Amino acid sequence: MTQFNNISPEEEDRLIEEAYQNLLNGYLSSNHRKKVEIIEKAFKFARDAHQGIRRRSGEPYIMHPIAVATIVNQEIGLGSTSISAALLHDVVEDTEYTVEDIEAQFGKKIARIVDGLTKISGGIFGDKASVQAENFRKLLLTMGEDVRVVLIKMADRLHNMRTLSSMPPNKQYKIAGETLYIYAPLAHRLGLYAIKTELEDLSFKYNHPSEYQRIRSLVDDSEERRNELFSRFSAPIRERLDNMGLKYDFTVRVKSCYSIWKKMQTKHIPFDEVYDLYAARIVFDCERESDAKRLCWNIYNEITEVYIKHPDRVRDWLTTPKVNQYQALHVTVMGPDGDWVEVQIRSRKMDEIAERGFAAHWKYKIGEGEEEEELSKWLSTITDILKDPEPDAIDFLDTIKLNLYASEIVVFTPKGETITLPKGATVLDLAFTLHTDLGTHCIAGKVNHKLRPLSYKMASGDQVEIVTSNTQKPKSEWEKFVVTAKGKTRLHAALRHQRRLIIEEGERRFMNFLSDHHIEFSNELLSQAIGRQRLAGKEELFFMIGNDEITLNEEMISKKEQGVRFNWWRRNNPFKGKEEHKETTSEPSKAIDTKAVYRLTTTNGVSNYHIADCCHPIPGDDTVGFLNDSGEVIVHKMDCPTLARLKASYGSRLLETTWDEYSDKFLASIHIEGIDQKGILQAIVNIISTNMSINMRKMNVTSNQGVFNCDLDVLISDAKVLTNLCNQIKKVKGVNTATRMS
Ligand code: MN
């Protein structure tokens, strides 16, 4: 960044002019129609409006809108309307001018975008969690009006992140937190891959400065060796590509610090064991894009003739591109030194789309209206989620977040249709995605011709057939294993619908009961009936009747002179019709005083801490402390979703934590899921008690339609033992998953 301290006003003007000329030159060399006039006007307007205002770094404020406009054009690829709106994006927020002024000067379209940007400014998040979600929803709904609002906001955030070092540390933490929580996944969803990666890396740098530095220097230290390896690796391939007469770039790209760190965290491996530390990339030029796929495969053939390919790591994003339109061919081969190396093969156009999302499209398109068309196509992926937002804003945020983070899988219907779903999607999700009726009547799935329960998590490439039954009805337990936004929305609607039918049935029975006994209906009678059972209202009463929880009976009523009265109700056995429920051992779990056993150090030296109820970290977990209103430190797991939310709003209250020592046992919960079969429970118990000599505290087993569920509490010494235990249990026949619960 240029130093703006102690320079003359003339010099300052020259630097502003230079930044602006750089913006213009970039625009003029792009494929957009050359509408310089409006940009010029917006620049002058913004420059005068922000006159005399400086950023925290000391530079004149106008440098920020210029930088944002430059990102909007050169990194996102938008044209004059967006460039002008970006130049004006802080004018209404920070100066005396109004949206009406902007509209008078620049017309409706630009004014609307600036208005949208003003509405969502000041950070997406307010002080309270619900406000966060509401604002986020607002942000996405604003996109409904013009997706450029969110793209310019993305550029604004990117520039703020690039210049974050001039902010005080507590602000850095908060801004970095919300960037990672909201903006990076959104950038990913929009296909702005390069921006997503940069946002993640910058967030990581400010969230975990020491970790960032450590990984940065490990990457730097290994550079020389890497380059040497790469030139040995690439030489024989280059020779073949040259022989093909191709024009291409063959480069090596190191994973971002953030993704290296994430991999180390999730896989619990040291730096040296991150096998895909770097990837090689071949980007080739081709005259006709229709030749591109064939050329990708030709190159693939050449590479696999030189090196042995990894059988499970060929990714064909050519035939089925990702939802964000990513297209490429990935192959992992064994390099000359025995390490696996991933090679990504793409045409120039595919590469641009991968790096810059839809922005790359207009480089290849000319003609009016196409920008709008492309934008609306991208928008429709988001509006799908927005169609039926949940009344509870937080749920909505989580649903969205889930969708934004998830990477996709592609599954096939028996007819060979491809369906793209987020990773982790279950058979039930697929059923609901295909059709609501299919979802509500689904009893199982045939995954690659094998019968699987509704909760079965599908993998990319699976062929899945939905098995239905006319008597099946949607169940509230299903909420546990629908993960897609669409599935959740449709299941909720189906459950609501079903509840409504039961209420109607109950009302019918009630009315019939009255007329059978020659009782005239009255509101007093109804409220007397409700009051007798202390119910919330008539809906609840009718529901219980309709759901066979209350059977209407002659003995319930008495006819007296002053009228008919309900004397008493008999509730039916609440467990009637419920699933099989077996409780195996049930020794009440003792509360363990964790503090007596191990010590935890936080950055502020506070020692009165509590273990968070939401994620239950245990020694050995990566944790973060959160300072609550009473000055106590609540210790959360690093990847706790509650923490992620807190981080976004109260970043300054986070404390780094480290476990000092631990020597005793801790209580942990494991959830096991599978298909019920003879001996499954015995096998699990054997592993726990006999093979691993682990103390079991509590076990709860349910079996529902052949789907086996088991929750158990065990006493273990640290996180590693727990991981090992889960891995052992997963090997039991019939067991699908064994995961630690928080
Ligand atoms: Mn701004």
Q: How far is CA 416 from the centre of its chain?
A: 28
Residue 736's pLDDT is what? 81
Residue 311's pLDDT is what? 76
Contacts of 426 (CB under 8 A, 6+ apart): 454, 455, 456, 457, 458, 481, 482, 483
Residue 258's pLDDT is what? 92
- Active-site entry in 12, 40, 94, 711: 94
Centroid of ligand 1 to alpha carbon of 427 (angstroms): 44
Structure tokens at 64: 């920020």
Q: Facing residues of 252 across strands?
A: 280
Q: Which of 693, 729, 724, 723 is nearest to 710 (CA)?
A: 729
pLDDT at 299 over 60: yes
Q: What is the CA radius of gyration of the chain?
A: 31
Q: Kindly report, residue by residue over 476-535, the tens digit of the pLDDT.
A: 889 888 988 888 889 998 999 889 999 999 999 999 988 888 888 888 888 887 877 777
* 79 vs 405, residue with greater confidence: 79
The CA–CA distances, whole Å, from 173 to 55, 168, 185, 252, 405 equal 19, 9, 18, 32, 21
- The CA distance from 648 to 321, in Å, is 33
For the question of residue 200 being annotated catalytic, the response is: no
Phi-psi domain of 416 (left: phi exceeds 0; alpha: psi -120 through 50; beta: other): left
- The CA distance from 20 to 14, in Å, is 10
Half-sphere exposure in the Cβ direction for 129 (13 Å, CA): 14
Centroid of ligand 1 to alpha carbon of 529 (angstroms): 61
Q: Of the ranges 31-35, 260-264, 384-388, 703-707, which is most confident?
A: 260-264
- Active-site entry in 93, 239, 504, 580: 93
pLDDT at 284 over 80: yes
Contacts of 38 (CB under 8 A, 6+ apart): 80, 81, 84, 106, 110
* 576 vs 291, residue with greater confidence: 291
Centroid of ligand 1 to alpha carbon of 523 (angstroms): 60
Centroid of ligand 1 to alpha carbon of 89 (angstroms): 6
Centroid of ligand 1 to alpha carbon of 255 (angstroms): 29
- The CA distance from 399 to 404, in Å, is 9
For the question of residue 90 being annotated catalytic, the response is: no
Assign 375 a pLDDT band (cuts: 50, 70, 90). Answer: low
Q: Kindly report, residue by residue over 97-144, the tens digit of the pLDDT.
A: 998 999 999 999 899 889 888 776 544 433 333 344 445 555 555 455
pLDDT at 15 over 60: yes
Q: Facing residues of 419 across strands?
A: 411
Q: Of the ranges 43-52, 476-485, 702-711, which is most confident?
A: 43-52
Centroid of ligand 1 to alpha carbon of 356 (angstroms): 21
Q: Are the C-beta atoms of 575 and 702 separated by less than 8 Å? A: no
Amino acid at 373: E
* 591 vs 412, residue with greater confidence: 412
pLDDT at 10 over 70: yes
Q: Which of 183, 155, 306 is nearest to 234 (CA)?
A: 306
- The CA distance from 75 to 356, in Å, is 7
* 217 vs 324, residue with greater confidence: 217
Centroid of ligand 1 to alpha carbon of 107 (angstroms): 21
Residue 162's pLDDT is what? 95
Centroid of ligand 1 to alpha carbon of 69 (angstroms): 10
Centroid of ligand 1 to alpha carbon of 198 (angstroms): 18
Assign 397 a pLDDT band (cuts: 50, 70, 90). Answer: very low
- The CA distance from 169 to 175, in Å, is 10
